[in-house]
A and B are shown apart, each in its own frame.
Chain A
Amino acid sequence: MNIAVSQPEAAEDAAPPTREMAIRAEGLGKRYLLEGAKRALLSARVREDEAFWALRGVSFAIEEGERVGIIGRNGAGKSTLLKILSRVVAPSEGRAEIRGRIASLLEVGTGFNPRLSGRDNIYLNAALLGLSRKEVDARLDEIIAFAEIGRFIEEPVKNYSTGMRARLGFAVAAHIDPDVLMLDEVLSVGDAAFQAKCLARVGQLVDAERTLLFVSHSVPAVRRFCDRCIWLDRGEVVMDGPAIAVTEAYEEKLLKVKGVFRAPERERAAAALPAAGQAPAEEEQAARLVSAAVLNAAGEPTNSVRIDEEFSIEVVFDVLAPARRIEPALHFLNERGEIIFVVAFTDASAPAAINEIGRHRAHAQIPANFLNDGVHRVTIVLVTADPLVRHETAEKAIAFSVFERAGSDRVARGRYARRFPGAVRPMLQWTHKRV
């Protein structure tokens, strides 16, 4: 089920004309031995039924400066791929070439010696990542400042809190200045403030024309930092292409996030609508939903929208009975299925709601910087407001995710790097003066 996406989305920053290749993988595969076949370490001949493939036939080419996210469910082979590329494990088949100094951060703070001081551990950790003493000397102050360890730097690491260890570990890794940086869910450690700092640092590193390989479960993080995404499932590449397109497909498959709802038999039935003035049978449904879609700022159907762009929800419905004051209503639900707000039909040009038989199309415009990032679902209701009659309720008919790109200055993020809680994230008009 390979879906080829050849044309990357229009890059926001103009790419230099000649990009060098940073990583090239050809048919990478990793076969793990099941318990019982482990004796084979020194012989290497294994029966097929004693092994399983964690990764198979993975090929891609990454150019210098590309920021590539790798997503997939647990056990999809993401970490295996990163371990092969960082040479922790050897592939069972295939080949890869990597150009430039590699730093891989499979876990923050690996290789600390609890008995040594923080300062000594910086040298030890940096040496593990392939840095010379001289190079560490030049960065030492910066690392210590970033880690916020303060006077504890001379204390043995065994006296550190988990958070301090994590900070120190990331501080070293974040200052080794590699050509190719590989991160595996590193941002899942530490408190919110520390994560924010890590994210900010990743942002800085990413600005500096570095190649980034970023393994994550988090679609928002991939959308924020990566311009390309590789989706792995059961050890194979499902899709490889622009980050937005791939993550949309991923969310559609896994979370059933789909911005378009259609009822084809109803679309075809347009000709069979009763003519105006012709009274339908009393018990028949007075209105029915034909289609609904999330439209981006350019008016194209989409599964995801940028947080700093306005978008709209289009509802197409048939009115089958006259003078019923039909109107659409939208229920917005968050990821947990809780209603965050309900929108009533407030079109000034149709003050008496919709009475005419026929096909109608309504748009609800949603402003930029209004919904928070994440997945949202919309239940569409066709209703007569007073007395209240629900003619049709399409539960969670459409869904979309709101995402944010790193580097946008039109977002309501201010100077915070953390994830914003809450359902909405509006940009309000602030004023201030000294009093």
Chain B
Amino acid sequence: MTAMAPDKPLTVIDAAQARRAIFPPDFWRFRELLGQMTRSAFHAKYLHLKSSFLWYYARPLTITLVFVLLRATSNLGEGAPYPLFVLTGICFWFIFADTLSAASTALARDASLIQKIYFPILILPLAQTMARFADVGLALIAIVVLQIALGVGTDIELLVLIPVVVQLMLLAFGLGCGVAALSLSVPDVREAVNVALYLGLFLSPVFYAPDAMPPAARLVLHANPLVGSLEGVRAALFDTAAFPWAAWGYSCAATLAAVLWGLTLLSRASRNAAEFL
């Protein structure tokens, strides 16, 4: 039996490996692919319509308008003027929800690729998540414009904005990976997630501040890791409230758990993903 040349990369395929490493040794070789897929996802979302950028604003602006009109009856917000409060909540909620659904459908979307070419499948949800950072930029433009118009100032806490946004995206990415892996064997999961996201819009501090709620409800609401993230974004942007360190700490812990859960499921599913799509 002849010896193997030592200078060339060795690929080992072994049935005994129960799962595929989620970061295989050749992951770095595929960094180019991650960039290309991100670019491709970005293209798909923004560049296929002439005014996609304007359409992006249609949803948060109309919803904000509706709630600003409703607000005449009660005071649900806290700190920042209510239109700014709702717009921030709406924008970042949809960034979270859209990223989660994009990541969770990433495998199905590129099923034909997975069935024909080998590459680390983690790249697909990761690329979808990265492309959504464009939403963050668009949202911030609208929010800052309104902030200036309403004369709301900012403070040193603005520095926390980046970690909070990264945490929010990682939470969506982790949950998205888990859902993507689960939905390979149980396709119903995706429908359940759609319902959950719809409910989540009302169970998260999008239209109201949790502290404006009765104490019993407040306790339940704080189990939602989005409380720390959404309140954190507002506190970082505006000088009207102190940063909710405790709530955000809980959000970070939940994010870590979600990412570990998602990557574990995805690595278990990745071995035979091609057969289940």
Interface residues of A (CB under 8 A from B): 18-21, 28-29, 32-33, 38-42, 44, 61, 63-64, 83-102, 104, 106-107, 110-111, 113, 115-116, 120, 123-124, 127-133, 179
- The one of B3, B13, B43 in contact with A87, judged by C-beta atoms closer than 8 angstroms, is B13
B191 at the interface (CB under 8 A from A): no
23 cross-chain CB contacts under 8 A: A20-B3, A38-B276, A41-B185, A41-B272, A44-B18, A83-B274, A85-B13, A88-B115, A89-B272, A90-B272, A95-B16, A98-B10, A101-B8, A111-B113, A115-B43, A123-B36, A124-B36, A124-B39, A124-B40, A127-B36, A128-B113, A128-B119, A133-B32
Are A98 and B13 closer than 8 Å at their CB atoms?
Answer: yes
Are B114 and A90 closer than 8 Å at their CB atoms?
Answer: no
Q: Which of these binds chain A: B138-146, B166-174, B263-271?
A: B263-271
Q: Please give, as numbers and ranges, the residues of chain B lying within 8 Å of A90 by CB-CB distance.
A: 13, 15, 17, 20, 271-272
- Tell me the complex Cα distance, A286–B268, Å: 76
Q: Please give, as numbers and ranges, the residues of chain B lying within 8 Å of A92 by CB-CB distance.
A: 15
Residue of B nearest to A98 (CB): B11
- The one of B30, B47, B115, B184 in contact with A127, judged by C-beta atoms closer than 8 angstroms, is B30
Are A19 and B118 closer than 8 Å at their CB atoms?
Answer: no
Residue of A nearest to B33 (CB): A127
Q: Given contacts A97-B4, A132-B32, is CB(A41)–CB(B13) below 8 Å?
A: no
Closest 3 CB pairs of A and B: A87-B118, A41-B185, A127-B33
- Tell me the complex Cα distance, A405–B225, Å: 67
Q: Please give, as numbers and ranges, the residues of chain A lying within 8 Å of B12 by CB-CB distance.
A: 95-97
B214 at the interface (CB under 8 A from A): no
Q: What distance in Å separates the Cβ of B46 from its nearest Cβ neighbour in chain A?
A: 11
Q: What distance in Å separates the Cβ of A349 from its nearest Cβ neighbour in chain B?
A: 56
Size band of the B side of the interface? Answer: 35 or more
Q: Please give, as numbers and ranges, the residues of chain A lying within 8 Å of B29 by CB-CB distance.
A: 130, 132
Are B2 and A88 closer than 8 Å at their CB atoms?
Answer: no
Q: Please give, as numbers and ranges, the residues of chain B lying within 8 Å of A123 by CB-CB distance.
A: 32, 36
- Tell me the complex Cα distance, A88–B275, Å: 9
B48 at the interface (CB under 8 A from A): yes
Q: Please give, as numbers and ranges, the residues of chain A lying within 8 Å of B1 by CB-CB distance.
A: 21, 61
- Tell me the complex Cα distance, A18–B112, Å: 40
- Tell me the complex Cα distance, A123–B15, Å: 33
Q: What distance in Å separates the Cβ of B128 from its nearest Cβ neighbour in chain A?
A: 13
- Tell me the complex Cα distance, A113–B115, Å: 16
Are A179 and B32 closer than 8 Å at their CB atoms?
Answer: no
Q: What distance in Å separates the Cβ of A432 from its nearest Cβ neighbour in chain B?
A: 48
Q: What distance in Å separates the Cβ of B4 from its nearest Cβ neighbour in chain A?
A: 5
Q: What distance in Å separates the Cβ of A313 from its nearest Cβ neighbour in chain B?
A: 43
Q: What distance in Å separates the Cβ of B33 from its nearest Cβ neighbour in chain A?
A: 4
Q: Given contacts A20-B2, A33-B275, A131-B32, is CB(A113)–CB(B15) below 8 Å?
A: no
Are B117 and A127 closer than 8 Å at their CB atoms?
Answer: no
- Tell me the complex Cα distance, A41–B15, Å: 15
- Tell me the complex Cα distance, A29–B48, Å: 44
Are A21 and B13 closer than 8 Å at their CB atoms?
Answer: no
Are A106 and B43 closer than 8 Å at their CB atoms?
Answer: no
Q: Please give, as numbers and ranges, the residues of chain A lying within 8 Å of B11 by CB-CB distance.
A: 87, 97-99, 102
Q: What distance in Å separates the Cβ of A398 from its nearest Cβ neighbour in chain B?
A: 41
Q: Given contacts A87-B11, A96-B13, is CB(A110)–CB(B36) below 8 Å?
A: no
Q: Please give, as numbers and ranges, the residues of chain A lying within 8 Å of B39 by CB-CB distance.
A: 120, 124
Q: Please give, as numbers and ranges, the residues of chain A lying within 8 Å of B43 by CB-CB distance.
A: 113, 115-116
B257 at the interface (CB under 8 A from A): no
Q: Which of B2, B47, B118, B181: most chain A Cβ within 10 A?
A: B118
Q: Which of B17, B32, B114: most chain A Cβ within 10 A?
A: B32
**Chain B contacts with A in 111-141, Cβ cutoff 8 A:** 112-119
Q: What distance in Å separates the Cβ of B5 from its nearest Cβ neighbour in chain A?
A: 4
Q: Please give, as numbers and ranges, the residues of chain B lying within 8 Å of A96 by CB-CB distance.
A: 12-14
Q: Which of B4, B13, B18: most chain A Cβ within 10 A?
A: B13
- The one of A20, A94, A113 in contact with B44, judged by C-beta atoms closer than 8 angstroms, is A113
B163 at the interface (CB under 8 A from A): no
Q: What distance in Å separates the Cβ of A431 from its nearest Cβ neighbour in chain B?
A: 51
Q: Please give, as numbers and ranges, the residues of chain B lying within 8 Å of A104 by CB-CB distance.
A: 117-118
Q: Please give, as numbers and ranges, the residues of chain A lying within 8 Å of B26 by CB-CB distance.
A: 130
Residue of A nearest to B115 (CB): A88
Residue of A nearest to B117 (CB): A128
Q: Please give, as numbers and ranges, the residues of chain B lying within 8 Å of A42 by CB-CB distance.
A: 181-182, 185, 265, 268-269
- Tell me the complex Cα distance, A91–B1, Å: 23
- Tell me the complex Cα distance, A323–B194, Å: 94
B186 at the interface (CB under 8 A from A): yes
Q: What distance in Å separates the Cβ of B191 from its nearest Cβ neighbour in chain A?
A: 17
Q: What distance in Å separates the Cβ of A125 from its nearest Cβ neighbour in chain B?
A: 9
Are B265 and A88 closer than 8 Å at their CB atoms?
Answer: no
- Tell me the complex Cα distance, A18–B4, Å: 11
- Tell me the complex Cα distance, A44–B185, Å: 12
Q: Which of B14, B35, B181: most chain A Cβ within 10 A?
A: B14
Are B274 and A88 closer than 8 Å at their CB atoms?
Answer: yes
Residue of B nearest to A33 (CB): B275
Beyond A20-B5, A21-B4, A90-B20, 7 extra complex contacts between A and B, CB < 8 Å: A28-B15, A39-B185, A41-B185, A96-B14, A110-B113, A127-B33, A130-B30
Q: Please give, as numbers and ranges, the residues of chain A lying within 8 Å of B4 by CB-CB distance.
A: 20-21, 97, 99
Q: What distance in Å separates the Cβ of A80 from its nearest Cβ neighbour in chain B?
A: 11
- Tell me the complex Cα distance, A111–B13, Å: 24
**Chain B contacts with A in 144-194, Cβ cutoff 8 A:** 181-182, 184-186
- The one of B3, B18, B48, B116 in contact with A107, judged by C-beta atoms closer than 8 angstroms, is B116
Residue of A nearest to B30 (CB): A130
Q: Please give, as numbers and ranges, the residues of chain A lying within 8 Å of B13 by CB-CB distance.
A: 84-85, 87, 90-91, 95-98
Are A18 and B10 closer than 8 Å at their CB atoms?
Answer: no
Residue of A nearest to B181 (CB): A42
Q: Please give, as numbers and ranges, the residues of chain B lying within 8 Å of A28 by CB-CB distance.
A: 15
Are B275 and A89 closer than 8 Å at their CB atoms?
Answer: yes
Residue of B nearest to A92 (CB): B15
B25 at the interface (CB under 8 A from A): no
Q: What distance in Å separates the Cβ of B65 from its nearest Cβ neighbour in chain A?
A: 32
Q: Please give, as numbers and ranges, the residues of chain B lying within 8 Å of A20 by CB-CB distance.
A: 2-5
Q: Please give, as numbers and ranges, the residues of chain A lying within 8 Å of B112 by CB-CB distance.
A: 110-111
- The one of A39, A102, A128 in contact with B186, judged by C-beta atoms closer than 8 angstroms, is A39
B9 at the interface (CB under 8 A from A): yes
Are B271 and A19 closer than 8 Å at their CB atoms?
Answer: no
Q: Which of B8, B12, B112: most chain A Cβ within 10 A?
A: B8
